[in-house]
Structure 1
Amino acid sequence: MHRSAHSAETQGAQAEAAVARHCGPTLRSAIAKLAPQHMVKNPVMAVVWLGTLTTALATLAGWTSAGFGWAVTAILLVTVLFGNYAEAVAESRGRGQAASLRRARQDLVARRLLPSGGEQTIAANELKQGDLVVVESEQLVPADGEIVEGLAAINEAAVTGESAPVLREAGTDRSGVIGGTKVLSDRIVVRVTAEPGNSFLDRMIALVEGSNRQKTPNEVALGILLAVMTLTFLIVVITLPVIGAAVGVHINIVLLVALLVCLIPTTIGGLLPAIGIAGMNRALQANVLAKSGKAVEVAGDVDVLLLDKTGTITYGDRQATAFQTVNGVSPALLREAALLASLADPTPEGKSIVKLAREQGAHQGAPAQSAFIEFTAQTRMSGVDLPDRRIRKGAVDAMEQFVKSQGGIVPAGLGALVRDIASTGATPLVVAQDQQILGVIALSDVIKHGIKERFSRLREMGVRTVMITGDNELTAASIAAEAGVDDYIAQARPEDKLARIRAEQAEGRLVAMVGDGTNDAPALAQADVGLAMNSGTQAAKEAGNMVDLDSDPAKLLAIVEIGKQQLITRGALTTFSLANDVSKYFAILPAVFAAAIPSMEALNVMQLSSPASAVLAALIFNALIIPALIPLALRGVHFKPATANQLLLGNMLVYGVGGVVVPFVAIKLIDMGLTAVLPL
């Protein structure tokens, strides 16, 4: 997490520098967004843009004084440009990252394996799904794929920004590789999994540039609310000339437009697109690729978080620490059986069993006629079939069923031995030969430092944590208590994860899931927030709606905070926008009616110097508040764990009261400045 935080700070600083360097292009982008096809996507700012054109035409027609008319037109134009600029700045934050990603995939070549056994060197963009390519030390991986042979250290800095190499190995959940990354050691054979133009880098570039960003449900709902409010005030303003005529007040069209712009929620209308884009950018700064803004926002509403024990709660480096026999079985026989059952096991646990057995004196190799049995999530065991015997190792219940199916009997002392090992937090792995259980291997893991505090922080946010593990009930309970999770699922199969997610969702809860293997893909696809590890399989990355480029399963804890921060930021700025509209009413309404209706002077609580000055002061404030809030929209409101009621109260006190007070003070100061320099 420390590296991630440092990475986020570094990328954030780089993003700010990029925005500063590209101020000119950003401004040009803001001007280009004045095109009608873009403006119609934001009804509030579209009305302001239409009002700008209306006041310009009215001034040219002589329907108002030239000075006042052009001043209003200029301020309205600046207001629209500031709104567009906020969106352009948010979009520009991803362009630097996109540029580096494009460089990572340029001029890639591939060594494609031919069916005849030879090789063919071709351009990477000519590769097809299913092709096999060879990559050796100091060469670039030409395309997304899965390692089918070998292992290698790979530099993924072009994608993740992390200079430390990572290990990728065939036959494990860390077999996925990305085109454009660099192999630092050894030789690997990669099966291409992506078609040209649809690689991970291609999709990532499109996402960070915002071209595929879809509005979130909350953003859509708020957009509808703003459109309804805008339409309502538009109708009100259109009817004002009729009302004014009835009381002897003539209202020119420029003043009407100014009134409309001050009534509609222009502040949040101008900042809304930037807030949505900024949420994805903040996730990207944490080295998490969100496939949509919806994924980030839903993370802020998550009720339940499902986490695999291994690699998330524990370091995931379980090592064999002891062999314990049952019913007088020879320790040498147990070590030999454990060694033979693990010789073809590519997992770290399997390798550690082989290492420990050899350290304790077992050196036998497997006969040539051996048939190795791979571990599966369904059988939950692995082993080897020799010419004269069958050896298996696996979960306690799976091994008991195996022995019984062979006509054997489970020894009475096995249960006590398993409980003793599990009570220490270790995982018991039972070893059997034909009908006989020989003993238990103890696999030990370590709880990650600070994980209990992180779960406590999530609990304060109202998120319930559920640990998923293939361990037996006793081991799972021990680890769960030490880690501080709220619940756990022991001896879990892929179907169990999926069933738990569906059960939680059926009760109206939003569920987040972390995974990296192909067997996690169904659960990742079903979860409302599915965080796949970049180091994991292609199936997992395709199923999830987020990809953690650092492959840190605990990253979801940070994503929940980013999602909540986005929700709070939008809520805070919406509250501020609607509140400061109240203040603007007191600036504009007296300007419209006070001259003809003296009693309206009572509404001039701000004691503004003149109707024209009041209108211009309110419009200037209306324009300036948008760029003033851009940094807050991009950075996000400071978030700390609290209940929904506490967050609502805090929003109302800070942004509600502040939204009323700030315009009163600012408009009065602007009015005084205008009076001092202009003859209004």
Structure 2
Amino acid sequence: MSALTTTDAPEHNPEPTPPTSESASASASANGKGAFTAAQLVAALPGAMRKLDPRQMWRNPVMFIVEIGAAYTTVLAIAEPFLGGAADSGGSSVPGSFTWGIALWLWLTVIFANLAEAVAEGRGKAQAESLRATRTSTTAARVTSYDAQGDPAATNAATAPVSSADLTLGDIVVAVAGDLIPGDGDIIWGIASVDESAITGESAPVIRESGGDRSAVTGGTRVLSDRIVIRITSKPGETFVDRMITLVEGASRQKTPNEIALNILLASLSIIFVVVALTLNPIAGYSDAAVSVPVLIALLVCLIPTTIGALLSAIGIAGMDRLVQRNVLAMSGRAVEAAGDVTTLLLDKTGTITYGNRRAAEFTALRGISLHTLIQAAAVSSLSDPTPEGKSIVDLAKEQGFTDSAAPTGEIVPFTAQTRMSGLDLADGSQIRKGAGSAVIAWIEQEQALGQGHPLPSSELDELEANIERISNAGGTPLVVATKAADGTGQILGVVYLKDIVKEGLRERFAELRSMGIRTVMITGDNPLTAKAIAAEAGVDDYLAEATPEDKLALIRKEQDGGNLVAMTGDGTNDAPALAQADVGVAMNTGTSAAKEAGNMVDLDSDPTKLIDIVRIGKQLLITRGALTTFSIANDVAKYFAIIPAMFAGVFPGLAMLNIMQLHSPASAILSAIIFNAIIIVVLIPLALRGVSYRALSASKILSRNILVYGLGGIVAPFIGIKLIDLVVSVIPGF
């Protein structure tokens, strides 16, 4: 019952070697976090110019308005010599170069906005080129006929060389040492050491094997040892590398709901200010204070939120880019954004909170049972157990005198999430099981329910519970060993003590998450006592013990019904329902195809602890967007003090008191504001790409910090920047 409680190299494949980890690292350095150089700007400039196409610009309403204004001002600048001279502003004459100056900087404003997005996309395209090197067409040994028993894994199974591009979903291929794996798939037979550096950048080889949750392999990686049989699980052009290339190039990036909402808000504000600019001249005309069209366009551009409008798309692309740098493939921008809003984090105990390499440390036999009997039964049931725990039981048993030469054989019963047991059915009809205490007891009592067998003595159950409690309180995992005779009579032999070690530094990380308002829940198949001890040591808020796939799904739904957004990791087919239900489901790349299809993110490094970093990246994306929105709005407020007095000071002398920056002239003030409005976009591109520095703070503290730093900074920066630009503009003859 679950408990949720608080507190030899082949000749058929002579293909080129994929990029090494060094090249991958170089690529990562070139496109790494915070990398931003003048060379990137120059490389992105052609892309920025192509984006001037109105068919693309209309997707960004704010900058589309600026482009229309720039085009109209350019027409006016060309027509002015034929229409009687230059425009005027605020009753003062202005030089003929004024309109051209406004038009030039309006165009630069649009180009700079496109440049921000082009730089962000360019970083992704550089990564895509590196990934394409791993997508070289390889020759695969496709199984064409099986042996007499129909076994594709047999060494005499017939194979034929085919191009990896001709492989289809469900094909069976054989890969041996030295082969490049031709496509994404699951290992259905064998175990091998695989070099995944072409994908992950990690030079250390990893073990991939059939029959477990580390059976998935990725096309483009190389087999270093042994022989494996793979069932292809993806179509050509739909592998994870293909999808990753598409992602980092930005070709399939869709705007997230929050981004769409903010775009609507910015568009609404822009429309309001368009109306203000259109009605301003007729109203001002009653006081003979009419201003020129270029000045009105300059006012409009300074009023509308051009800064955030220019950087919004780049912020979203950069957020995706930061995930890719960490070898996380997000299926959509929505998932990245949802990671920033997560309030509940579900973490598997094994491999995430603990190292997962639980080892047998002690055999404890019940009274009346010889230690030799317990060791023999535990070892026999573990001989075919491929897990680290099973192997450790055999190792410990051998240290204590067990020999496998005379060990009985039988039908292997593998471990499943539903039964939470594994073991062996012997030829004489008897059975051996090892697993969770409650599962083993239920297995024995199942015969009693059928009117067979004998009930377990209460003293035996009490002794068992005492041993389980002792091991659990020490933070270990008790593994109960039992046998059942052919007549159905069951007997518990004793307990195996498995040690599990909590990873260092997790308590501090969970404390950070708690300060951000994120509740952490540890999920484990262990009994409640073990779960409680590990949870207390790790510092998680809640835990779910003896969890089945149904329990995980029920917990996620319960959290979501309470208004929480849930994130979790998984790698097995039994995790697929929960991954699909979670708002952020991170599947391990080594996991099953079902898990990867169910989740909305795939971690190519298969590191479950990366979920915490994904949440931080999501929050950094949201914080960066919020900070630059605050800066943009505050920035617009400050520019009013440069534009408005300059427009009407010649007609209404009283407005001169608003000229607190003491700008040189109305023309220089207006031009300086437009120049600053364009330059600030370029200045903020590195921040938009790198992201605002993230700190684990509550939402209210983050808001206060944004208002103080970016709100105040957005007000102060224009006063300083416009004044400095005005000093330069004022030396130009006529200004």
Whether 1:405 and 2:449 are equivalent positions in the alignment is no
Whether 1:59 and 2:99 are equivalent positions in the alignment is no
Larger deviation, residues 19-28 vs 299-308: 19-28
Task: Show the counterpart of 1:506.
Answer: 561
Whether 1:631 and 2:696 are equivalent positions in the alignment is no
Task: Show the counterpart of 1:280.
Answer: 320
Q: Does the CA-based 8 Å contact 1:19-1:92 persist in structure 2?
A: no
The one of 122, 126, 134 aligned to 1:96? 126
Q: Distance in 2 between matches of 1:629 and 1:8?
A: 27
The one of 404, 420, 427 aligned to 1:387? 427
Q: TM-score, normalised by structure 2?
A: 0.89
Q: Distance in 2 between matches of 1:292 and 1:390?
A: 49
Whether 1:112 and 2:142 are equivalent positions in the alignment is yes
1:511-545 deviation digits (Å, cap 9, x = unpaired): 11011111111111111111111222222122111
Task: Show the counterpart of 1:262.
Answer: 302
Task: Show the counterpart of 2:228.
Answer: 188
1:372 alignment partner, SS class? strand
Q: Distance in 1 between matches of 2:500 and 2:35?
A: 43
2:730 alignment partner, SS class? helix
The one of 170, 173, 177 aligned to 1:133? 173
Task: Show the counterpart of 1:241.
Answer: 281
Residues 20-169 of structure 1 aligned to structure 2 (within 5 Å): 21=39, 23-62=41-80, 65=86, 66-116=96-146, 117-169=157-209
Q: Which has the higher helix share?
A: 1
Q: Distance in 2 between matches of 1:204 and 1:312?
A: 25
Give, as a single letter, the amino acid of the residue that structure 1 aligns with 2:275.
I
Larger deviation, residues 334-343 vs 653-662: 334-343
1:648 alignment partner, SS class? helix
Q: How much does 1:316 deviate?
A: 0.5
Q: How much does 1:395 deviate?
A: 0.9
Whether 1:227 and 2:267 are equivalent positions in the alignment is yes
Q: Distance in 2 between matches of 1:369 and 1:667?
A: 85
Larger deviation, residues 597-606 vs 74-83: 597-606
Q: Distance in 1 between matches of 2:594 and 2:310?
A: 39
2:350 alignment partner, SS class? helix
Residues 234-633 of structure 1 aligned to structure 2 (within 5 Å): 234-364=274-404, 370-388=410-428, 389-406=430-447, 407-410=453-456, 411-412=460-461, 413-434=463-484, 435-633=490-688
Q: How much does 1:422 deviate?
A: 1.4
Q: Does the CA-based 8 Å contact 1:8-1:285 persist in structure 2?
A: no
Q: Does the CA-based 8 Å contact 1:532-1:540 persist in structure 2?
A: yes
Q: Distance in 2 between matches of 1:154 and 1:573?
A: 44
Q: Does the CA-based 8 Å contact 1:8-1:287 persist in structure 2?
A: no
Larger deviation, residues 426-435 vs 409-418: 409-418
1:380-434 deviation digits (Å, cap 9, x = unpaired): 1111111221111111011101111232433231111111121211111111111
Q: Distance in 1 between matches of 2:561 and 2:171?
A: 42
Pairwise CA RMSD = 1.8
1:313 alignment partner, SS class? coil
1:302-336 deviation digits (Å, cap 9, x = unpaired): 11100000000000001112211112112221122
2:731 alignment partner, SS class? helix
Q: Distance in 1 between matches of 2:27 and 2:693?
A: 19
Q: Does the CA-based 8 Å contact 2:411-2:426 persist in structure 1?
A: yes
1:210 alignment partner, SS class? coil
Q: Distance in 1 between matches of 2:332 and 2:340?
A: 14
Larger deviation, residues 45-54 vs 512-521: 512-521
Q: Does the CA-based 8 Å contact 1:336-1:364 persist in structure 2?
A: no
Q: Does the CA-based 8 Å contact 2:380-2:408 persist in structure 1?
A: no
Q: How much does 1:496 deviate?
A: 0.6
Q: Does the CA-based 8 Å contact 1:511-1:527 persist in structure 2?
A: yes
Q: Distance in 1 between matches of 2:36 and 2:264?
A: 33
Q: How much does 1:21 deviate?
A: 5.0
Give, as a single letter, the amino acid of the residue that structure 2 aligns with 1:68.
F
Q: How much does 1:17 deviate?
A: 6.6
> What runs of 5+ residues in structure 2 fail to find an aligned partner?
1-20, 87-95, 147-156, 448-452, 485-489
Q: Distance in 2 between matches of 1:611 and 1:101?
A: 54
CA shift in 2, pair 1:366/1:78, >3 Å: farther
Q: How many residues align?
A: 675
Q: Does the CA-based 8 Å contact 1:19-1:93 persist in structure 2?
A: no
1:67-113 deviation digits (Å, cap 9, x = unpaired): 11111111000000000000000111111221111110112111101
- Greater relative contact order (CA < 8 Å, ≥ 6 in sequence): 2
Whether 1:671 and 2:726 are equivalent positions in the alignment is yes
Q: How much does 1:163 deviate?
A: 1.1
Q: Does the CA-based 8 Å contact 1:49-1:80 persist in structure 2?
A: yes
CA shift in 2, pair 1:136/1:284, >3 Å: same
Identical counterparts, % of pairs: 57
Q: Distance in 1 between matches of 2:40 and 2:309?
A: 24
Larger deviation, residues 514-523 vs 481-490: 514-523
Q: TM-score, normalised by structure 1?
A: 0.96
Q: How much does 1:361 deviate?
A: 2.0
2:228 alignment partner, SS class? strand
2:503 alignment partner, SS class? coil
CA shift in 2, pair 1:112/1:368, >3 Å: farther
Q: Distance in 1 between matches of 2:529 and 2:683?
A: 57
Q: Does the CA-based 8 Å contact 1:18-1:96 persist in structure 2?
A: no
Q: Does the CA-based 8 Å contact 2:567-2:585 persist in structure 1?
A: yes
Q: Distance in 1 between matches of 2:406 and 2:381?
A: 9
Whether 1:11 and 2:28 are equivalent positions in the alignment is yes
CA shift in 2, pair 1:648/1:271, >3 Å: same
